[in-house]
């Protein structure tokens, strides 16, 4: 453990979360980590291939109720793998819709019990580009479909409305672009830089609009060690120091 203790934002989910720190595709997790530098610690708990069943098995380990410090924010994504159609063998990632809903409900209940300060955002299943995934393969062999993603996405959103949890409709958000099939995915499932930009902007929009106290939007949070110092870089006038603690080195208007 290192100090000072900062608010902790945990990203919990399957490959969309694990790959959110992708250096190759400027993942949405890395965007958050950059914007929240000196403000919050972005903690990655992403596990490629997981579904909501697997998540429940380790929920107490990842989010122990007796932890000294509880997260200020948990962003949860499961659903894309759950929505795969059943394999004839009975093996694989498919989780029936009603079980998926109850699994996500249990995850939400557990996270709500951690502390009064812990805020939650659920991400719904994003769309997929079936042509990019399968090419010219036989349709009967296709277990991952955009229609199934839509059904699981809507179920997640409905649960969040019922439980008063902030939710982001990724299935709709990515498809707002006419060229979404061409620009949002590396392989028909996982996100490109453009796809991650959309996810990051949707998350930041929720954080900005949420009436949470304290606010968790990056521009509203205090910056660590923000006081002026004689050791700051020398300003353009050559006579005074320049405090650069809030520089992000990004086009910040894009992330307002």
Instruction: Catalogue all structural domains in the chain, each as residue range(s) with its CATH number.
Output: 8-220 (3.40.50.1110)
The gap between the terminal CA atoms of the chain, to the nearest Å, is 31
Query: What is the set of active-site residues?
Result: 14, 187, 190
Residue-level pLDDT, tens digit, the chain, 256 residues? 788 999 999 999 999 999 999 877 889 999 999 999 999 999 999 999 999 999 999 999 999 999 999 999 999 999 999 999 999 888 999 999 999 999 999 999 999 999 999 999 999 999 999 999 998 665 667 899 999 999 999 999 999 999 999 999 999 999 999 999 999 999 999 999 999 999 999 999 999 999 999 999 999 999 999 999 999 899 999 999 999 888 766 655 577 6
What string of H, E and C letters represents the secondary structure of 34-103? HHCCCCCEEEEEECCCCCHHHHHHHHHHHCCCCCCCCCCEEEEECCCCCCCCCCCCCCCCCCCHHHHHHH
What is the model's pTM?
0.95
């Amino acid at each position: 453990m290192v100090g000072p203790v900062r608010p902790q934002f945990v990203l919990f989910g399957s490959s969309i979360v694990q790959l959110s720190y992708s250096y190759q595709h400027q993942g949405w997790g890395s965007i958050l980590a950059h914007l929240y530098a000196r403000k919050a610690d972005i903690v990655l708990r992403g596990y490629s291939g997981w579904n909501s069943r697997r998540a429940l098995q380790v929920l107490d380990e990842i989010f122990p109720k007796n932890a000294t410090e509880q997260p200020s924010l948990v962003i949860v994504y499961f659903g894309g793998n759950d929505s795969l159609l059943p394999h004839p063998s009975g093996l694989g990632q498919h989780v029936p819709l009603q079980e998926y809903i109850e699994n996500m409900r249990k995850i939400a209940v557990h996270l709500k019990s951690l502390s009064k300060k812990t805020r939650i955002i659920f991400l719904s299943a994003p769309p997929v580009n079936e042509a990019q995934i399968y090419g010219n393969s036989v349709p009967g062999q296709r277990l991952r479909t955009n229609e199934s993603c839509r059904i699981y996405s809507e179920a997640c959103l409905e649960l969040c409305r019922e439980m008063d949890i902030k939710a982001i409709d990724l299935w709709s958000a990515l498809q707002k672009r006419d060229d979404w099939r061409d620009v949002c995915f590396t392989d028909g499932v996982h996100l490109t830089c453009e796809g991650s930009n959309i996810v990051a902007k949707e998350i930041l929009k929720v954080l900005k609009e949420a009436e949470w106290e304290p606010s968790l939007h990056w521009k509203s949070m205090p910056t660590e060690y923000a006081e002026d110092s004689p050791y700051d870089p020398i300003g353009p006038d050559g006579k005074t120091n320049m405090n650069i603690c809030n520089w992000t080195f990004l086009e910040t208007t894009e992330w307002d």
